[in-house]
Structure 1
Amino acid sequence: MARLFGLPPLGDDGAAPRLAARVWSQALRNPVPAGRLGQGYARVVAGLVSYADELRRRGMLPEDAEPDEVARSLIGTVQGVMLQRALFPEADVTTFRGGPRALAGFTPEPGS
């Protein structure tokens, strides 16, 4: 995701996930970091919505895919991976690649 927004990579020493967990914790208690975090979140959502919309136009996402839903699902996945890395430093990011790929091919049963 860093490359998507032209940001430098965060490294693999585990510092970024631990920092993110601290920031999220502070944002729950303090409106100042919560406001800043909310502004950043809105920018990331907007960028990913635009990206998902472009993927949909190119036929790389289903026609009925909702770009906002795609964006928020991606963010939630990244946040979940970061939180797991903060709590369990031995968690390897590469192990999280197969699950979304498998889910992308998942076909729910009718009516579910």
Structure 2
Amino acid sequence: MARVSQEHLDARRRQILDGAAICFARNGFHATSMQDVLKEVDLSAGAVYRYFSGKEELIAAVVGEVLGSVRGAFEEAVHLSPPPAPDVLITQVLGRTLAARANLTVDGEPAFPRLVIQVWAETLRNKELAVVLHEGYAGVRGAWSRIVQGYQDAGMMRSDVDPDHVARTMIAGAMGFLAQQSLFGPAPAEVLGDGLRALMGMTDVPAATGGSQLG
């Protein structure tokens, strides 16, 4: 009997993970059964269980990939000196992350943003996955804090602000943009980049010009 190549094993595992990701993005983790996954990937139970012992292990693998892809993209930017400005960097990171999963769709729309929302919701009830999420978030925060420190060292950003505060804000922008895509439909990452660029370029409006004053 011919031995199955590692390439074939890796491709089959990829097929299962992608199919499961589509199912989870479509209906959530709880409403998705292993039968749903088997139907999506068009494989027998034996073929799937060769790679994953059950639904919980499959969930953990999908969650790990989702968090790892986002974290890895941001951590790559740490090695750039100086890194691109935030509007450019976050557009590149999100664009690359979304493009890497562009083959996964639900009802004709990208599955990845919906999957991210499902992952966040699942970690609220699953303590093991919550630990993975917190570790991933801490990693992204640390990476972004180092990026912000690079901005400050290069004189690109004021130095009297805690890098972690800026990191949290930039992460919030990325998370919010993914949430919008999930809820309201896809949009290119350049939309977020344009918005950030406009906010970063704001200047104080002198009172003499008639600018409105709050308070």
Percent identity over paired residues: 32
- C-alpha deviations, 1:53-104, integer Å up to 9, x for none? 1110110111223201110001000000111111122333222222211221
TM-score norm. by structure 2 comes to: 0.46
Most deviating of 29-38 and 82-91 = 82-91
Distance 1:54 1:95 in 2: 25
May I ask how many residue pairs the two structures share in their alignment?
A: 112
Q: Structure 1 regions of 5+ residues with no counterpart?
A: none
Residue 76 of structure 1: aligned partner: 172
Say which structure, 1 or 2, has more relative contact order (CA 8 Å, 6+ apart): 1
Offset, 1:107 = 4.7
Structure 2 unaligned residues grouped into runs of 5+: 1-69, 77-92, 103-109, 206-214
Structure having the higher helix fraction is 2
How many Å apart are 1:16 and its aligned residue? 2.0
CA distances 1:25-61 after superposition (whole Å, capped 9, x unpaired): 1012221111110011001101111110111011011
Point out the structure with max Rg over C-alpha: 2
**Backbone CA RMSD of aligned residues:** 2.8
For 2:140, which of 31, 44, 67 is the aligned residue?
Answer: 44
Q: Are residues 108 and 10 of structure 1, via their aligned partners in 2, closer, same or farther at CA, if it must alter by over 3 Å? A: same
Give the direction of change, closer, same or farther, for the CA distance of 1:95–1:30 in structure 2 (3 Å limit). same
Structure 1 partner of 2:162: 66
After superposition, the Cα gap between the structure-2 partners of 1:27 and 1:17, relative to the gap in structure 1 and judged at 3 Å, is same
